A and B are shown apart, each in its own frame.
Chain A
Amino acid sequence: MEKNRKERIFLDPLIRNNPITVQILGICSALAVTVKLQSAVVMALSLTFVVALSNVIVSLLRKTIPNRIRIIVQLVVVAFLVIVVDQFLKAYVFDISKQLSVFVGLIITNCIVMGRLEAFAMSNSPRRSFIDGLANGLGYGFILIVVAFFRELLGSGTIWNYQVVPQAFYDAGYMNNGLMIMPPMALIAVGLIVWIQRARQQKKEEGK
């Protein structure tokens, strides 16, 4: 029973209760970084790191945090972790940190982080909170990577900066779809993912 529950904590946010497509959290900063797969992966990792660790920290502190300044304390913890991430990105993957620009900072206000802190970490043990944070981060990263994969493939003809659309296609008149690079297409892509996911879930429920 206990084991089962732990698995649920981990598996639920990945698909069935995905933070982006089901809970509508954390879309804010996410979609602008999905033009290229590489930046999407870095963003996903950064976010996972921040959610998991802030979940642990807040969970450890949960018995000491004064209720009235709860939100502020959570914000401070998150902001602290984000600054650490930002400094590391600037030091070690400078190129990508240039592309991500302000969006790393915006992890602070990513609703996933605050949402998980409020809903989970404030009332669960550090270890559970860690798993929960990790899973939510990965669920978020999963959508980010799917969207980025299609946008990069269709928009620039590359994947992970490697050319995958053969030159022969271009010679035959194929063109990169410049529209995919534009911001609105990210939204439409997510809309379609939501559609597919819900349609599948409905089928499953009807089949039961």
Chain B
Amino acid sequence: MENIANIFVKSIFIDNMIFAYFLGMCSYLAVSKTVKTSFGLGVAVAFMLTITVPINYLIEKYLLCKGAMTWISPSFADVDLSFLTFIVFIAVVASMTQLVEMVIEKFSPSLYNSLGIFLPLIAVNCAILGGSLFMAERSYANVGEAAVFGFGSGIGWLLAIVSLAAIREKIKYSKIPKALDGLGIAFIIVGLMGLAFMGFMGIKL
């Protein structure tokens, strides 16, 4: 239990997808102009991470790892399909995204309209695939831990994008050198936020 809380806290604050690994930057910078849309995208990303990480965990553990398929037949002990990891993970991510897109389109057309072209792009959002790859890399003990990691990373991403959007909404009123305005200043703000988040380093429960 303590372990799970630890993973949760760590994935939100210390190993934050944005500030520590720059994952999902493209949509992060492009969508973070207003708080409302960024909240929508953040929720979508958090949701996708929570679903795809555990699914990919199970696939990895029971199909892809070396000797993973022994539960089907002991003769598969030497089968190592881990080179297929990337392609299987991305397939899971892409198909889940398609599903979520259809659901959102049906139940919340306004959200669907405001997110515009970014929904299909969730499939190629590095944060989602990155979540699964980090999960594989760090070899979590069970599916619960993997799910908590996915959820925590998603919340971390949500937190990051909403706070950046809030800052960018305010900064519109400031005087910024013309060449730095827009993208340049956004990069620097994210960098400074990252520095602030480094204060959480070493935190644990």
Chain A interface residues (CB < 8 Å from chain B)? 21, 24-32, 71-72, 75-76, 79-80, 82-83, 86-87, 101-102, 105-106, 108-111, 114, 179, 182-188, 190-192, 194-195, 198-199, 201-202
**B interface size (C-beta, 8 A):** 51
Closest 7 CB pairs of A and B: A184-B194, A191-B187, A188-B191, A187-B191, A28-B126, A191-B188, A198-B179
Contact (Cβ within 8 A) A79 B133: no
When distances are taken between beta carbons in the complex, the residues of chain A under 8 Å from B120 are 71
User: Would you give 5 A-B contacts (Cβ < 8 Å), ordered by A?
Assistant: A109-B128, A184-B198, A185-B191, A191-B186, A191-B188
Does B64 lie at the interface of the complex (its beta carbon under 8 Å from any beta carbon of A)? no
Chain B 178-205 against A: per-residue CB contact (8 Å), 1 yes, 0 no?
Answer: 1110011111101111110110000000
Chain B interface mostly: helix
A108 contacts B90, C-beta separation under 8 Å: yes
Which chain A positions have C-beta within 8 A of B30?
24
* Chain B residues within an 8 Å CB radius of A183: 19-22, 194
How many A-B contacts if CB must be within 8 Å?
143
Residues from chain B with a CB closer than 8 A to the CB of A26 are 26
B12 within 8 Å of A by Cβ? no
Residues of A within 8 A of B198 (CB): 182, 184
A106–B177 contact, CB under 8 A?
A: no
Q: Is the CB of A194 within 8 A of B187?
A: yes
Given contacts A79-B86, A184-B194, 6 further A-B contacts (CB under 8 A): A27-B22, A28-B22, A102-B136, A108-B124, A187-B22, A202-B178
- Shortest CB-to-CB span from A143 to chain B, Å, is 12
